[in-house]
């Protein structure tokens, strides 16, 4: 795949008709190295955030070896990475999936949040004695932009008994939680860790792993979180105070934080009506979060000849290409006031939950793909990896 120095060069060199996904492997690699260097434990990449070969190869090349998989498709994909270790952190699984993971792919780590799921895992694996079982406990999503409350997690009243019961059947026992996506307050992790510590004390048993889940943030317009160092400090301090043994492991499962900055989409303006632009990607494509979660992503505009547009800016809202009125991106997106039909917009930082959410509804959702060597429009990590590292990152 060709490498282009900037999106502008893509527009100058290619005949662009459908949306273009621009992947920055150095951005994914940089984020992975940051977590490997700074998280005080093991980092598992949540594959659901972006399962493209380019993303996976970039993360693997940077040193990520542990992967949180949630489906048979993800299982088979990660199995192609030599030496990768897979952990099934989805609390509810089919019996066929458990069997395939355990017997065909050697997976030994399974999450659960109920006695029924524990019994299922034991039955399918023949009461295996080499299981790492991780009990997911419920916690509030107080400081997150996207709540994950309600679906998964053993409740406070049930968790101690489930932890004790699981201990009896696990070679290694873990306790996990997920405080929501795009956590905006580091102290949220500390609060949950202190609560989990009380649950472990009530269970009166030893645990081998504490898994803080995902939720680590990326940066978007209007959603600028504290520096990631503050999250690491909060987790480290709270974990040090937990009622666990000195050799208890600490895990995390970042998805968004590792890949959000690594990808952008270049879209074409097909029409303008006042301050509304109609573009050729949208809610049913890579911009799901912009439509359904009302997120604003960084943008910059280029004219039809690939020159970046400047000048006075104004706020726009966007409609995607389908016939559905729900294909609406409220924004506001800040763009040059003279933008019009035939111009292009790069929408940045869509590497997490962008391409994986895209569908072919209404015949849309097809993309050209390129590799970009420039930096993301917004970053949590700085610029310590240059264009010369692109090939290595791939």
| Residues with Cβ within 8 Å of residue 32, at least 6 apart in sequence | 43, 45, 58, 59, 62, 63, 64, 258
pLDDT in tens, 268-323: 999 999 999 999 999 999 999 999 888 899 999 999 999 999 999 999 999 999 99
Residue 77 CA to residue 71 CA, distance in Å, equals: 10
| Residues with Cβ within 8 Å of residue 292, at least 6 apart in sequence | 283
Q: What is the pLDDT of residue 386?
A: 40
| Domain range list for the chain | 3-22+261-393, 26-259
If one compares 54 and 140, the residue with the highest pLDDT of the two is 54
Instruction: Please give the CATH superfamily to which domain 3-22+261-393 belongs.
Output: Lyase, Ornithine Decarboxylase; Chain A, domain 1 (2.40.37.10)
Residue 213 CA to residue 202 CA, distance in Å, equals: 21
The CATH class of 26-259 is alpha beta
If one compares 1 and 67, the residue with the highest pLDDT of the two is 67
The reply to whether 26-259 shares the fold of 3-22+261-393 is no
If one compares 153 and 42, the residue with the highest pLDDT of the two is 42
pLDDT in tens, 115-124: 999 999 999 9
Q: What is the pLDDT of residue 131?
A: 98
| Residues with Cβ within 8 Å of residue 15, at least 6 apart in sequence | none
Residue 267, pLDDT > 50, answer yes
- For residue 133, give the 3-state DSSP assignment: strand
Q: Read off the pLDDT band of 355 (50, 70, 90).
A: very high
DSSP summary character for residue 103:
I
Q: What is the pLDDT of residue 143?
A: 53
If one compares 140 and 152, the residue with the highest pLDDT of the two is 152
Mean pLDDT, residues 67-93: 96
């Amino acid at each position: 795949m060709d490498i282009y120095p900037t999106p502008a060069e893509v527009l100058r060199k290619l005949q662009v008709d459908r949306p273009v996904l621009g992947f920055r492997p150095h951005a994914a690699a940089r984020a992975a190295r940051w977590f490997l260097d700074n998280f005080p434990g093991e980092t598992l990449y949540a594959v659901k955030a972006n399962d493209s070969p380019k993303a996976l190869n970039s993360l693997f090349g940077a040193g990520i070896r542990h992967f949180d998989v949630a489906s048979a498709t993800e299982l088979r994909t990660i199995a192609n990475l030599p030496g990768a270790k897979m952990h099934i952190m989805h609390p509810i699984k089919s019996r066929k999936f458990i069997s395939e993971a355990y017997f065909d792919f050697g997976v030994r780590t399974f999450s659960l949040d109920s006695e029924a799921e524990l019994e299922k895992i034991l039955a399918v694996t023949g009461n295996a004695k080499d299981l790492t079982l991780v009990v997911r406990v419920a916690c509030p999503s107080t400081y997150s932009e996207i709540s994950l409350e309600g679906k998964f997690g053993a409740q406070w009243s049930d968790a101690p008994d489930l932890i004790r019961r699981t201990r009896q059947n696990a070679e290694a026992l873990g306790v996990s939680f997920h405080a929501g996506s795009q956590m905006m307050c580091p102290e949220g992790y500390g609060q949950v860790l202190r609560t989990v510590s009380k649950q472990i004390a009530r269970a009166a048993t030893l645990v081998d792993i504490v898994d803080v889940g995902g939720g680590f943030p990326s940066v978007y317009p209007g959603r600028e979180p504290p520096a990631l160092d503050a999250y690491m400090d909060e987790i480290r301090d709270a974990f040090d105070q937990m009622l666990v043994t000195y050799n208890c492991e600490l895990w995390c499962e970042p998805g968004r934080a590792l890949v959000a900055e690594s990808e952008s989409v270049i879209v074409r303006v097909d029409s303008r009506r006042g301050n509304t632009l109609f573009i050729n990607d949208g809610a049913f494509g890579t911009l799901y979060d912009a439509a359904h979660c009302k997120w604003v992503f960084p943008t910059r505009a280029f004219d039809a000849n690939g020159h970046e547009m400047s000048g006075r800016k104004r706020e726009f809202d966007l409609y995607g290409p389908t016939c559905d009125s729900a294909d609406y991106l409220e924004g506001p997106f800040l763009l040059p006031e003279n933008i019009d039909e035939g111009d292009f917009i790069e929408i940045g930082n869509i590497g997490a939950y962008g391409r994986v959410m895209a569908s072919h509804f209404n015949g849309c959702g097809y993309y050209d793909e390129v590799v970009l060597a420039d930096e993301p429009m917004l970053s949590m990590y700085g610029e310590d990896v240059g264009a010369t590292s692109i090939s290595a990152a791939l």
